[in-house]
């Protein structure tokens, strides 16, 4: 466990773009501050903090310092009026280049079924794993190939709904901010033709193909062992039988959506692959049409791995219809989308359970036709209203982010980055500069500008997560954790034993412990990394 460290001010420990907003947050009674060059200690900026304001989520009074006027490249520290210093940070044109590559490289480290050799994995490599065929639950004697894809999280399960969200975030980042992906990570597949982000997404898409039942078009919900292995078990030592859990409507709809989306993105690189994606998406849609009353997924009695259950599947079908319509322009998908849009569910959420936001964004990015202007305008307005709601929360929050006290739950950093995504999406239809500034504050928070002065990305920042709930990081005998992985973050519900034992009475934003046993606060997942990639992509152009 990392010792608690107190710094003068909370800052983004990686840095700030030269022309961007630059802030620091004080919790001490300081009214003046200055910025020094690290090393020379030359003072390059002086300023005054704001008046103190009580921040409900952190339970403390905070003062903001704005030094956006400072625009000279370099490495600096913030110093308060008593001489206390912050962690160092950089001012650069593109301070997030290495972070961006690191967040993407994390998906490579999560690859299943292949050897991660030293050339690309460094000291965090391991042997190939989970290569045996999996048993299909409820169908005795049927075994299928499920090799490939990404391990979902701190465990080694592979889940369709989780994979679909993660790939969607990465594809959106690539489509909207292609200039962010000019550099190679590198990966074994790097070829200077197709961007590495698309090579990495293809690893998961190739696995997802194997999750579709070729007899029906339905999609198996997940591929896992029946129970989680021990926390120190390395991937190649997890030898229990793999099991394909039964087909679910949620997995099938998410599969249809992401495959339809992928077919558009990969069309210019590999038309035959794009065709395959689209055909499999349409086949999955046929299953949905034939099973209109299919509900959410529940674990079979003999399986205790992550359930990814979901009582509402309308949002998944809404997303699938949007992507299929966006790709094919066929009226049957448009009609279905219009019908689902009339039902009540969140249409601007980007979680693995509430995926309506992906349907909305896809439909808006498809653009106007003669017959859809009213619905298009309505969804645009709904997105802008959500961004405005988030902005109002940011204005009240001491750290300038859109999480209220109730939002510090398991995976709060996913909520943080999802909301930053919404703010950045809103900029596509409104040029309001406050959206960009608020999104930047969300990134600053993730990278250390928070009440705990911790960067929630392993390997990035002076004071970053060291003990994630991630089996290879625990079992590989390497001191440093696998880098580039976003930890779940503060969780006021204290849903695991170590949090319950050590964090009772802590404010919501301080309800976090950097401990490997804290699965409810310190686990990593593909869909906590993916929205972070999207947000950093915007600021890495």
For 410-433, the three-class secondary structure string (H helix, E strand, C coil) is: CCHHHHHHHHHHHHHHHCCCCCCH
Do the beta carbons of residue 36 and residue 121 sit within 8 Å? no
Burial class of residue 522 in the structure, from the number of CB atoms within 10 Å of its CB (0-12 exposed, 13-18 middle, 19+ buried) = buried
Rounded CA separation 470/232 (Å): 9
Give the pLDDT band of residue 370 (cuts 50, 70, 90): confident
Q: What tens digit of pLDDT does each residue of 468-514 get? A: 999 999 999 999 999 999 999 999 999 999 999 999 999 999 999 99
Picking from 38, 165, 43, 141, the residue whose alpha carbon sits closest to that of residue 89 is: 38
**Which is more confident, 282 or 6?**
282
**Residue 434 located in a structural domain:** no
Residue 416 and residue 400: Cα distance in Å, rounded? 11
The pLDDT of residue 1? 41
Q: Name the nearest CA neighbour of 414 among 78, 207, 165, 214.
A: 165
pLDDT band for 322, please (50, 70, 90 cuts).
very high
pLDDT tens digits for range 422-452? 999 999 999 899 999 999 999 999 999 999 9
DSSP 113: S
Q: Is 215 contained in some domain?
A: yes
Q: Is 463 one of the annotated active-site residues of the chain? A: no
Contacts of 28 (CB under 8 A, 6+ apart): 8, 80, 82, 84
Domain count, the chain: 1
CATH of the domain at 287: 1.50.10.10
Domain with 176, as residue range(s), is 97-105+112-311
Mean pLDDT score of the chain: 96
Q: Is residue 380 part of a domain?
A: no
Q: Retrieve residue 6's tokens.
A: 């107190």
What does the DSSP 8-state code read for residue 340?
A: H
Instruction: Give the span between the Cα atoms of 401 and 254, in whole angstroms.
Output: 29
Whether 264 is in a domain gets the answer yes
Nearest to 100, CA basis, from 178, 31, 34, 42:
178
Has residue 260 been placed in a domain?
yes
Q: Residues 458, 459, 460, 464: is their CA dihedral positive or negative?
A: positive
249 within a domain of the structure (yes/no)? yes
Active site residue 514: yes
The alpha carbons of the chain give a radius of gyration, in whole angstroms, of: 23
Q: What percent of the chain has pLDDT over 90?
A: 95
* SS3 category, 516: coil
Of 310, 514, 515, 516, the catalytic one is 514
> Is residue 386 flagged as an active site residue?
no
β-pair type (15-17, 89-92)? parallel
Bridge partner residues of 65 (DSSP):
24
pLDDT of residue 2: 43
Between 491 and 3, whose confidence is greater? 491
Given the residues 469, 476, 496, 516, the one annotated as active site: 469
CA atoms lying within 13 Å on the CB side of residue 24: 34
Q: List the one residue out of 342, 339, 296 whose CA is nearest residue 321.
A: 339
- Percent of the chain residues topping a pLDDT of 70: 99
Decide if 280 is inside a domain.
yes
Q: Is residue 517 part of a domain?
A: no
- Name the β-bridge partners of 383: none
The model's confidence at residue 5, banded by pLDDT at 50, 70 and 90, is: low
Q: Residue 3: pLDDT above 50? A: no
Q: How confident is the model at residue 6 (pLDDT cuts 50, 70, 90)?
A: low
CA 379, 380, 381: angle at the middle one, nearest 5? 90
Q: Is 387 helix (H, G, I), strand (E, B) or coil?
A: helix
In contact, 102 and 461? CB cutoff 8 Å = no
Residue 4 has pLDDT above 60, yes or no: no
pLDDT value, residue 494: 98
């Amino acid at each position: 466990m990392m010792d608690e460290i107190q710094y003068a001010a909370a800052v983004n420990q990686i840095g700030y773009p030269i022309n961007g907003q630059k802030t620091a947050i004080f919790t001490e009674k300081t009214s003046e501050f200055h910025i020094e060059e690290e090393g020379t200690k030359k003072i390059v900026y002086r300023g005054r903090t704001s008046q103190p304001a009580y921040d409900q989520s952190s339970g403390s009074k905070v003062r903001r310092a704005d030094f956006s006027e400072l625009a000279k490249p370099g490495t600096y520290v913030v110093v308060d009026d008593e001489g206390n210093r912050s962690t160092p940070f950089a001012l650069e044109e593109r301070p997030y280049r290495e972070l961006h590559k690191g967040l993407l490289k994390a998906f490579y480290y999560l690859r299943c079924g292949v050897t991660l050799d030293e050339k690309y994995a460094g000291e965090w490599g391991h042997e190939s794993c989970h290569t045996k065929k999996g048993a299909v639950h409820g169908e005795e004697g049927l075994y299928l190939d499920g090799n490939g894809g990404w391990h979902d999280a701190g465990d080694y399960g592979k889940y369709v709904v989780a994979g679909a969200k993660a790939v969607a975030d990465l594809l959106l980042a690539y489509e909207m901010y292609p200039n962010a992906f000019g550099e190679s990570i590198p990966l074994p597949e790097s070829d200077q033709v197709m961007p590495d982000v698309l090579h990495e997404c293809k690893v998961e898409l190739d696995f997802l193909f194997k999750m579709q039942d070729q007899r029906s078009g339905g999609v198996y919900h997940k591929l896992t062992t029946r129970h989680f292995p021990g926390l120190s078990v390395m991937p190649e030592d997890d030898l229990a039988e793999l099991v394909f859990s039964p087909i679910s409507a949620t997995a099938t709809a998410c599969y249809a959506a992401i495959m339809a989306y992928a077919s558009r993105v990969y069309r210019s690189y590999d038309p035959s692959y794009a065709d395959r994606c689209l055909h499999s998406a349409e086949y999955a849609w046929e299953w949905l049409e034939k099973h209109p009353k299919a509900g959410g997924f529940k674990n079979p009695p003999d399986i205790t791995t992550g359930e990814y259950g979901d009582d509402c599947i309308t949002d998944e079908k809404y997303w699938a219809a949007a992507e299929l319509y966006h790709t094919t322009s066929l009226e049957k998908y448009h009609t279905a989308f219009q019908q689902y849009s009339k039902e009540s569910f969140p249409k601007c959420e980007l979680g693995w359970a509430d995926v309506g936001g992906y349907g909305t964004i896809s439909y808006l990015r498809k653009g106007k036709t003669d017959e859809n202007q009213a619905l298009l305008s309505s969804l645009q307005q709904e997105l802008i209203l959500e961004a405005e709601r988030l902005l109002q929360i940011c204005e009240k929050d001491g750290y300038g982010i859109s999480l209220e006290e109730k939002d510090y739950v398991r995976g709060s950093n996913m909520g943080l980055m999802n909301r930053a995504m919404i703010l950045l999406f809103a900029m596509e239809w409104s040029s309001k500069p406050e959206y960009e500034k608020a999104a930047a504050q969300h990134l600053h928070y993730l990278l250390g500008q928070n009440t705990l002065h911790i960067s929630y990305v392993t390997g990035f920042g002076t004071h970053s997560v060291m003990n994630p709930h991630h089996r290879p990081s625990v079992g590989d005998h390497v001191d440093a954790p696998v880098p580039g992985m976003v930890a779940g973050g503060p969780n006021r519900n204290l849903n695991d034993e170590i949090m319950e034992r050590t964090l009772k009475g802590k404010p919501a934003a301080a309800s976090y412990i950097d401990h490997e046993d804290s699965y409810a606060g310190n686990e990593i997942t593909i869909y906590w990394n993916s929205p972070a990639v999207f947000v950093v992509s915007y600021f890495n152009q």
